[in-house]
A and B are shown apart, each in its own frame.
Chain A
Amino acid sequence: MPTEEFSIRKYLRDVPLPFCPGCGDFTVMDCFLRAVYELGYKDLHDFVFCSGIGCAAWIPSPHFEADTLHTTHGRSIPVATGVKLVRPKLNVVVFGGDGDIAGIGLSHLIHAARRNLDITVIMVNNMIYGMTGGQVAPTTPLRVKTTTTPYGSFEHPLDATRLVVAAGASYAARWTTVHREQMKEAITDALKTKGFAFIEAVSQCPTAFGRRIGLKTVGDMLTWLKKNSIPFTEAKKMTENELVGKIVVGEFVRRRLPTLTETIQDVIKEATRSGEAS
Chain B
Amino acid sequence: MPKQSSSPPTTHFWQGNQACAEAAITAGCRFFAGYPITPATEIAEHLALKLPTVGGTAIQMEDEIASLGAVIGASWAGAKAMTATSGPGFSLMQENIGYAFMTETPCVIINIQRAGPSTGQATKSGQGDVMQARWGTHGDYTSIALSPNSVQEMFTLTIKAFNLAEQYRTPVVLLADEIIAHMRENITVPNPDKIAIINRKKPKPQDKAFFGSQEIPPMPAVGEGFNISVTGSTHNEHGYRFTADQTIHQRLVKRLIDKITNNKDKITDFECHNIDNCEVGLVSYGCTSRALYELIDFERKEKTKIGFVRLKTLWPFPDAIIQRMAETAKTILVPEMNLQQIFYEVKRAVEGNAQVIPINKIGGGEMITPEEITTKIKRGTKHAH
Q: What number of residue pairs across chains A and B have CB atoms under 8 A from each other?
A: 143
Q: Which of A73-81, A95-103, A203-211, A233-241 lies on the face that meets chain B?
A: A73-81
Q: Which stretch in A128-136, A145-153, A266-274 binds the other chain? A: A266-274
Partner of B222, one of A48, A268, A272: A48
Q: In the complex, which residue of chain B has the Cβ closest to the Cβ of A46?
A: B223
What does DSSP make chain B's interface, helix, strand, loop or mixed?
Answer: mixed
- Select one of B61, B67, B228 contacting A68, CB under 8 A: B228
Is there contact, CB below 8 Å, between B229 and A68?
yes
- In the complex, A187 Cα to B79 Cα: how many Å? 30
When C-beta atoms are compared, the residue in chain B nearest to A264 turns out to be B57
Q: Does B241 contact A (CB under 8 A)?
A: yes
Q: CB of B233 within 8 A of chain A?
A: yes
A72 interface neighbour in B57, B95, B240, Cβ under 8 Å: B95
Q: Shortest Cβ distance from B140 into chain A, in angstroms? A: 18
A1-50 contacts to B, CB under 8 A, are: 13, 15, 45-46, 48, 50
Which one, B47-55, B185-193, B359-367, is touching chain A? B47-55
Q: A58-66, A194-202, A222-230, A243-251: which lies at the B interface?
A: A58-66
Which of A13, A80, A271 contacts B53 (CB under 8 A)? A271
State whether B72 touches A81 (Cβ < 8 A).
no
Across the interface, name the chain A residue whose C-beta is closest to B69: A78
Question: What distance in Å separates the Cβ of B78 from its nearest Cβ neighbour in chain A?
Answer: 6
Which residue on chain A has the smallest CB distance to residue B107? A82
Kindly state the separation between the CA atoms of A117 and B215 in the bound complex, as whole angstroms: 37
Contact between B231 and A82 (Cβ–Cβ < 8 Å)?
no
Contact of A272 among B52, B62, B230 (CB under 8 A): B52
The answer to the question of A180 belonging to the interface, with a C-beta cut-off of 8 Å to chain B, is no
Whole-angstrom distance from the CB of A259 to the nearest CB of chain B?
14
Contact of A75 with B57 in the complex, beta carbons under 8 Å: no
| CB of B226 within 8 Å of the partner chain | yes
Q: Is B183 close to A, CB under 8 A? A: no
Interface residues of B in 23-80 (CB under 8 A from A): 30-31, 33, 49-50, 52-57, 59, 61-63, 65-79
- Contact residues of A: prevailing secondary structure: mixed
Contact check, A86 vs B228: say whether CB atoms are below 8 A apart: no
A85 touches B229 (CB 8 A): no
In the bound complex, how far is the Cα of B233 from the Cα of A86, in angstroms? Answer: 25
- A90 interfacial by beta-carbon distance below 8 Å: yes
Picked from B30, B53, B72, the residue with its CB within 8 Å of the CB of A71 is B72
> A70 contacts which chain B residues (CB < 8 A)?
229-233
> Are A81 and B73 touching (Cβ within 8 A)?
yes
Q: Check B377 for interface membership: any CB of A closer than 8 A.
A: no
* Distance to closest chain B CB from A43 (angstroms): 9
B245 to chain A, nearest CB (A): 15
Minimum CB–CB distance for A52 against chain B, Å:
10
B232 contacts A86, C-beta separation under 8 Å: no
CA distance A45 to B230 in the complex (A): 16
Contacts of B68 in A (CB 8 A): 78
* Nearest A residue to B30, CB-CB: A86
Chain A residue at smallest Cβ distance from B56: A268
Q: Which of B2, B50, B70, B228 contacts A85 (CB 8 A)?
A: B70
A10 CB to closest chain B CB (Å) equals 13
What 1/0 mask marks residues of chain B from 227 to 249 whose CB sits below 8 Å from any chain A CB? 11111110000011100000000
Point out the residues of chain B lying under 8 angstroms from A61, CB to CB.
Answer: 229, 231
| Given A82-B69, A82-B77, A83-B76, A68:B230 Cβ within 8 A | yes
CA–CA, A61 and B233, complex, Å = 11
Q: Given A65-B227, A81-B69, verify A86-B240 contact (CB < 8 Å).
A: no
Q: Does A69 contact B (CB under 8 A)?
A: yes
**In whole angstroms, what is the CA distance A89 to B221 when docked?**
14
Known pairs A45-B227, A264-B59; list 6 more (Cβ under 8 Å).
A46-B223, A72-B96, A79-B69, A81-B73, A90-B222, A272-B2
| Complex A-B, nearest 6 residue pairs according to Cβ-Cβ distance, in ascending order | A82-B73, A78-B69, A271-B52, A86-B77, A82-B74, A82-B70
Q: Could you show 5 A-B contacts with beta carbons less than 8 Å apart?
A: A67-B227, A75-B96, A82-B81, A83-B73, A84-B73
